[in-house]
Structure 1
Amino acid sequence: MKSDGAKISSRTRLLQAAAALMTERGSIEISLSEIAQKSQLNSALVKYYFGSKNGLLLELVTDILGRAIVQMEELAEMDLDPVEKLKLHIKGIITVYFRYPFVNRLIHSMFQTQETAKAVAEAISIPLAATQKRLLDEAMAKGLIREIDPMLFYFIVLGACDHLFFAQPILHHCFGVERIDDDLRRRYADTVLNMVLSGLLIDKDGARASVVIRLGASRPA
């Protein structure tokens, strides 16, 4: 729904403030007063635009991941090698988590609340699983990957893609990594792709094939 410029700006500022707070803190625990202070707007506007804080967070999730779902559906329609589509899909998930490291935790939190669980499932999780299954089915039908349960692939891939960003305190305390930069994101994407696809790809004789994926030049951290 379109409105005047001031209302659009205020709505966007509230969403951006919530995203910035969760990214800065590495936590989804933020309050309305903190969102208001960060956005320099009155907290009453949250209720006006979104109905509640949960409504704001739901819109934030659907805005971030809704765009990713559309891009994934467009990817499925492209005339590309099916394995290349899977690579781009996994790389895309990691990029979303890199830009919005709070998003998967926020989704899990919303599934604990009846008011938001159904909305998140219908807007994000169900379309993601369906399109992901389509990518796998295409690759399996062409004999490029071995059979795999799409449901298990869903959890394996999403878990692997998210864990580096979820575990940032471990990176700091155990490995001395202060922040996840673009180089680390690329190296992590390379590793996830190699591990996942090496277990799936088959050669012309029907055996498992090894694969080395390079998404970009990497250098030691």
Structure 2
Amino acid sequence: MKVQIEAEGGSSTAESRERLLEAAGQLMAERGTTDISLSEIAARSGVNSALVKYYFGNKAGMLMALLRRRLGQGMADLQQLLKMDISPQDKLRIHISGMVNTYYQYPYVNRLMHELANEPSGDYGKQIAEEISLPVAKAQRAILEEGRAKGIFREVDPLVFYFMIVGACDQLFHSRHQARHVFGLEEINDDLKRRYVSELCNNLIRGISADPRAN
């Protein structure tokens, strides 16, 4: 069956799989929604939609694979960040900048996680928690505890901090239509992204500082 599939698609299994993932990501980014159909993905990728089941089990499995692809490097970078010999403030700045950059490149990521977490066809919620949400929350807690131990940060509730950061990093890109109608912005560009990161980091670090006057 594998030989037949490769012959029909005119490409290897890996290439066809990659084309499906890229097509799904492109469609969600362009349309600002995760509501895309298998037929649309197939048309964009040039790969038969029946192969989604062959490669991924179902559509949700394909989207989970895409989520891992988009966030995998960032999760690895986060673990390396914890080991860096830099201040807790700089660790937070790098972490927040990384999250915003991810949402800037792939604005559908957070919505996709919410939808997959509620997907009844598999244990995607557990997978997302174990592979993405929990490692991020643990990393944030470690940075907060380091800052607290050094007298740099005040005591901060890690649960509140986690949802505050995720929400702030995603909101600018999730609400592009509001930016257009309220502020007349036709696009979220790189300059706005940088200004957003700077303001967010400054306000956040000042807010959790043991001595706000020092920031």
TM over 0.5: yes
- What is the Cα deviation at residue 41 of structure 1? 0.8
Question: Which amino acid is 2:20 matched to?
Answer: L
- Residue 29 of structure 1, CA deviation: 0.2
| CA distances 1:158-197 after superposition (whole Å, capped 9, x unpaired) | 1011000000011111211111111010011111112211
Aligned residues between the structures: 204
Give the match for residue 67 of structure 2. Answer: 61
Q: Which has the higher helix share?
A: 2
Give the SS at the match of 1:209: helix
- Unaligned 5+ runs, structure 1: 212-221
- 2:213 is aligned to 209
Counting only pairs closer than 5 Å after superposition, residues 1-221 of structure 1 correspond to structure 2 as 6-114=12-120, 115=122, 116-202=124-210, 207-209=211-213, 211=215
The letter of the residue matching 1:174 is V
When the two structures are superposed, what TM-score results if normalisation uses the length of structure 1? 0.89
Whole-angstrom distance in 2 between the partners of 1:123 and 1:10:
25
The 2-side partners of 1:196 and 1:41 are apart by 45
Q: Distance in 2 between matches of 1:210 and 1:52?
A: 53
Distance in 2 separating the partners of 1:93 and 1:63:
15
1:44 maps to amino acid: A
CA distance in 1, matches of 2:126, 2:95: 24
Asked whether the equivalents of residues 33 and 108 of structure 2 are also in contact (C-alpha less than 8 Å), the reply is yes
Q: Larger deviation: 193-202 or 148-157?
A: 193-202
TM superposition score normalised by structure 2: 0.91
CA distance in 2, matches of 1:138, 1:174: 40
Percent identity for Structure 1 against Structure 2: 45
Gaps in structure 2 of 5+ consecutive residues = 1-5
In structure 1, the partner of 2:3 is none
Q: Contact between 1:27 and 1:102, CA under 8 Å: does it hold in 2?
A: yes
CA RMSD in angstroms comes to: 1.4
Q: How far is the alpha carbon of 1:66 from its aligned partner?
A: 2.0
Q: Which runs of 4+ in 1 moved over 4 A?
A: none
